[in-house]
């Protein structure tokens, strides 16, 4: 393992990495920042391509424990704590930050992108915490991937990454969600949306079939175009009388009802 030392924030390597705190540069370079020893360890173990890793010498023990055993030729930089703060989005940096490649295979994931029976289409979802939670739930429920519709929050922002708890490294994200949606519909996947007009609950509908579950914007909901094209209207029973559920909670409830139905059918 070759290690380099950087002392100045004027160093071009630091300047490049710092730009990745902005969405514009993340999209241009197809790279993003991952902070934290366990989080970066998860990225390494999942096989993600990582260019550079920056860490502070005070955290060398954690570096040797979590990072070093998983290295595959990445550039390693030792930096002062003040310099790591330049790259961090947290008040108290965790001691290590990596530059990770976005998964370019996500738009054509694997030999058979239609092998899973559930995908999610995010129709303008805006809250980072909601997106991170949906990614985590979708990973746990073994969904096929997340389709990012127009005006959906950046999945590589720091808040989304942290709330996904590492699941973002294990679930395909389709940046051109509209194109992937058409492909899935052409393969016979039904478009399912939650609706006040639904006459059947998620416990009455057949969710074990191939579905694309649409999760809309937190304020305005699903767009009219998507709503008009929906082939399945769903409702979640709420006997307590609440007006609605949080978007991520609703998505999780439906995902795991699908898991239950699918497992029940396989018995």
The whole-angstrom separation of Cα 13 and Cα 5 is 11
Q: Give the mean model confidence (pLDDT) for residues 21-42.
A: 96
Q: Is pLDDT of 241 > 90?
A: no
Q: State the pLDDT at residue 104.
A: 57
What was the pLDDT predicted at 247? 96
pLDDT the model gives residue 111: 41
Candidates 73, 81, 33; CA nearest to 55 is 81
Per-residue pLDDT reduced to its tens digit, 150-174: 999 999 999 999 999 999 999 999 9
Distance CA 221, CA 214 (A): 10
Give the tokens for residue 35: 């902070």
Return the percentage of the chain with pLDDT > 90, whole number.
88
Q: Tokens for 48?
A: 């993600």
pLDDT in tens, 110-148: 445 677 899 999 999 999 999 999 999 999 999 999 999
pLDDT of residue 112: 56
Nearest Cα neighbor of 134 from 115, 148, 151, 116 is 148
- Spatial distance between the Cα atoms of 149 and 33, rounded to a whole number of angstroms: 23
Q: What is the pLDDT of residue 115?
A: 73
CA of 73: how far to CAs of 3, 7, 49, 79, 145, in Å?
11, 22, 10, 19, 29
Binned at pLDDT 50, 70 and 90, residue 109 comes out as very low
Which domains, and CATH codes, for the chain? 3-101 (3.30.1330.30), 119-266 (3.40.1280.10)
Does the pLDDT of residue 106 top 60, yes or no?
Answer: no
The proportion of the chain whose per-residue pLDDT surpasses 70, expressed as a percent, equals 96
Using the predicted structure, report yes or no on whether residue 18 has a pLDDT greater than 60. yes
Distance, in Å, from the CA atom of 119 to the CA atom of 115, rounded to the nearest integer, reads 10
Q: Using 50, 70 and 90 to split pLDDT, how confident is the model at 108?
A: very low
Encoded tokens for 95: 């001691």
Give the mean pLDDT of 75-92.
Answer: 95
Handedness of CA 213, 231, 262, 240 (dihedral sign): positive
Q: How large is the average pLDDT for residues 49-67? A: 97
Is the whole-model pTM more than 0.75? yes
Residue 51 pLDDT exceeds 60 = yes
Distances in Å between the Cα of 248 and the Cα atoms of 161, 216, 255 are: 15, 10, 10
Computed over every residue of the chain, the mean pLDDT equals 93
Residues 57, 78: Cα–Cα separation, whole Å: 6
Least confident of 27-31, 196-200, 249-253: 196-200
């Amino acid at each position: 393992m070759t290690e380099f030392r950087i002392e100045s924030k004027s160093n071009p390597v630091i300047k490049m990495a710092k730009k990745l705190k902005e969405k514009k540069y993340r999209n241009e370079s197809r790279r993003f920042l991952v902070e934290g020893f366990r989080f970066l360890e998860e990225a390494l173990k999942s096989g993600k391509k990582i260019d550079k890793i920056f860490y502070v010498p005070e955290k060398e023990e954690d570096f040797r424990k979590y990072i070093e055993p998983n290295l595959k030729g990445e550039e390693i930089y030792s930096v002062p704590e003040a310099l790591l703060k330049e790259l961090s989005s947290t008040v108290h940096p965790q001691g290590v930050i990596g530059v990770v490649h976005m998964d370019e295979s996500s738009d054509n994931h694997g030999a058979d992108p239609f092998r899973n029976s559930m995908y999610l289409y995010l129709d303008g979802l805006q809250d980072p915490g909601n997106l991170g939670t949906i990614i985590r739930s979708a990973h746990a429920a073994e969904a096929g991937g997340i389709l990012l519709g127009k005006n959906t929050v950046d999945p590589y922002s720091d808040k989304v990454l942290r709330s996904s708890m590492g699941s973002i490294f294990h679930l395909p994200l389709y940046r051109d969600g509209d194109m992937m949606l058409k492909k899935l519909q052409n393969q016979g996947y039904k478009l399912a949306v939650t609706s006040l007009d639904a006459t059947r609950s998620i416990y009455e509908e057949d969710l074990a079939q191939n579905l694309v579950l649409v999760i809309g914007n937190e304020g305005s909901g699903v767009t009219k175009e998507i709503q008009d094209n929906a082939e399945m209207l769903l409702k979640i029973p709420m006997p307590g009388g609440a007006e609605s559920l949080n978007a991520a909670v609703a998505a999780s409830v439906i995902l795991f009802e699908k898991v239950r139905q699918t497992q029940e059918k396989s018995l």
